[in-house]
Amino acid sequence: MSAHKKTPPSLVFAGPDGSIYDHPDLLMLCSRGDELTLPRPDEFIPLPEESEFFLLPGRRAMGLNPETGQVEVLEETAVAAFVTPAYTLTAHPAFEKEADAPVLPLFAYGAVGFAEDRFWVCAKRVDEDTRQVFCGIPRERIENGARGLLAAMPENRLVRHLTHCALTYGCPAAKNLALGRYEAPLPTSRACNARCVGCISQQPEDSGFPATQCRIAFTPTAGEVSEIMLHHASREKRPILSFGQGCEGEPLTEAALIAESTARYRAKGGPGTVNVNTNASLPATIPDLARAGVSSIRVSLNSARKDPYEAYYRPHGYAFEDVLESIAAAHAEGLFVSLNLLFFPGFTDGEAELEALTGLVRSRGVNFIQLRNLNLDPDLYRNLTRPFDPGPTMGFLNFRKRLKKACPELGFGYFNPYVER
C-alpha cells in the first residue's frame, strides 16, 4: 500500500514540548546521501506497528513549499522514525543541522511524513517473518518465561545474562528465548578484532555517543552454551541457535568454544540451524565449525569494496581479503552463507556498490542477503564514506531488483533463515 499520488505526505516536526505535528503547507522531504528530494511514490508505506519516533536535537525540520517550489526550514525540531524489524529504510529525514548539534545515538533514522490521517515512512518490508513482533504479548508473559529459564538452569551464567538482556534492554532475541520461540541468542565473545564505527556494545569515550548495550563480561563454558541450545530446541520445532549477538564482540575469536558447544548439541540429537553471525575475519576457523555441526554463517558488510569496508569496520589483525576468504571457505564446506548488508540509502544503492556486491555474490557462493539498516547518525556515515564515490544511485527498490536479476538464485530477507545441512 502506498499514499495516493495526489496526497503526498506533509512535513512533520516536533514542538518545544516534544509533541509531533504535521505542517499544513509544507511537504515531506527526504535525503539519500547528498540528495534532497520528495519521496518517490513507491518507496513509502504506512508506519508499521511497534515503530518509534525520534526527535533529532540540533536539527531543524525542513519541507517543500509546493506553491513556490522552495525548500523552507522551520525553527522546530526534525523528526525521524525507527521502523520495526523486517523493514529496510529507503531514505533518511531531511533537516538543517545546527553547528552545535550532538551526534545522534546508534539507531536507524527513517524519513517520516503524514497523510490521510496516518504517518508514513520511507521503508519497504523485506521479510514476512513475524519473529520480532511482540504486539499482543504482555510483558508478564516474557517475565514468566525468563523466570522459567532461571529455574530450569539456575547455575547457568549465560541464562542470567540473557534474561537480563530481555528484561532490561528489551532485546528481541533474548525475549524470544524467554518465550521459547524462533531464534535463540548465544553470546560468547568478550573480545573483538574490529572497531566498528557503529558498534552497539563498545564505544570509546570520545565517540560522542554511548553504546546501546553492555558487552558480555564473562566467557561461558561449552556446557552452559549447549544447555541453552538443548533447552530452546525442546520448546521450538524449528530452532535457530545463533552465535554472534549485539552484546558481544567477534564470535570467531571464540571459535573453539562455539565448535565444542555445537558438537555437544549435535551429539545429543540437537536439531535445526546453528548459525554464526560474524565479521568473517578468521577464515582458518571455518572448517572446524562446519565439522562440529554449524549450519550457516551470516557475514556483516557495509560494502563489498575494500576501502569503505575498512573505513567503517576498522579491522585489527585482519583485512577485507580475509572476509572474502572466509565466505569462500564457508561455501566450500557446504555452509549456507548470508550477508548482513548494512543498507544506507544514497550509498549502498550506488552503481559501484552494486557492481562490487554482484561480483562478490557470484564469485564466493553467497546464498542470501539480509537487508538490514545501518544504525548510525546519517551525517557521520556520509562523512565517513564521502571519499569513496558509490557512483550514481538508483534507490532501494531498483537496487534490489537489479541485484536479483543479476543473481537469480539469491534470496532476500531480514532474519536468519531456517536451514538444515
Contact 289, 337 (CB under 8 A): no
What are the cell numbers at 167?
528484561
Distance CA 244, CA 297 (A): 10
Work out the end-to-end distance of the chain between its first and last CA atoms, rounded to an integer number of angstroms.
38
Q: Is the pLDDT of residue 202 over 80?
A: no
Which tens digits make up the pLDDT trace of 329-376? Answer: 999 999 999 999 999 999 999 999 999 999 999 999 999 999 999 999
pLDDT-derived band at 3 (thresholds 50, 70, 90) equals very low
Contact 275, 297 (CB under 8 A): yes
Listed residue (113, 95, 88) closest to 379, CA to CA: 95
> How open is the CA angle 125-408-333, to the nearest 5 degrees?
100
Who's near 157: CB < 8 A, 6+ residues apart?
Answer: 218, 220, 224
pTM over 0.75: yes
Contact 123, 44 (CB under 8 A): yes
Q: What percentage of the chain reaches a pLDDT higher than 70?
A: 97
Q: Is the pLDDT of residue 165 over 70?
A: yes
pLDDT-derived band at 2 (thresholds 50, 70, 90) equals very low
Distance CA 270, CA 272 (A): 7
> How open is the CA angle 159-162-166, to the nearest 5 degrees?
135
> How open is the CA angle 388-390-391, to the nearest 5 degrees?
125
Q: Average pLDDT of 199-220? A: 76
- The class that CATH gives domain 139-413 is alpha beta
Q: Average pLDDT of 133-158? A: 96
Q: Average pLDDT of 55-77? A: 97
Q: Average pLDDT of 230-241? A: 98
Which tens digits make up the pLDDT trace of 289-315? Answer: 999 999 999 999 999 999 999 999 999
Contact 123, 83 (CB under 8 A): yes
Q: Is the pLDDT of residue 210 over 80?
A: no
pLDDT-derived band at 112 (thresholds 50, 70, 90) equals very high
* Helices 306-313/378-385 angle, 10° precision: 130
Contact 44, 120 (CB under 8 A): yes
Q: Is the pLDDT of residue 177 over 80?
A: yes
Q: Positive or negative, the Cα torsion across 244, 250, 252, 258?
A: negative
Q: Is 7 or 20 the better-scoring residue by pLDDT?
A: 20
pLDDT-derived band at 1 (thresholds 50, 70, 90) equals very low
Q: Average pLDDT of 121-140? A: 95
How much is the pLDDT for 199?
Answer: 82
Who's near 201: CB < 8 A, 6+ residues apart?
Answer: 211, 212, 213, 214, 215, 246, 247, 248, 249
Specify the 3-state DSSP secondary structure of 265.
helix
Sheet of strand 296-301: strand arrangement: 183-186, 240-243, 273-278, 296-301, 336-343, 368-373, 411-413
Identity of the amino acid at 128? E
Beta-bridge partner residues of 194: 315
Listed residue (219, 228, 213, 161) closest to 190, CA to CA: 219
User: DSSP secondary-structure letter at 215?
Assistant: P
Identity of the amino acid at 293? G
How much is the pLDDT for 207?
Answer: 66
Which tens digits make up the pLDDT trace of 80-111? Answer: 999 999 999 999 999 999 999 999 999 999 99
What are the cell numbers at 316?
585489527
Query: Domain map of the chain by residue range?
Result: 10-125, 139-413
pLDDT-derived band at 246 (thresholds 50, 70, 90) equals confident
Biggest CA-to-CA distance, the chain: 71
Contact 23, 11 (CB under 8 A): yes
Distance of CA 227 to the CA centre of its chain: 28
Contact 222, 257 (CB under 8 A): yes
Distance CA 53, CA 24 (A): 20
Listed residue (208, 213, 216, 283) closest to 243, CA to CA: 216
How crowded is residue 56: how many other Cβ atoms within 10 Å of its Cβ?
Answer: 22
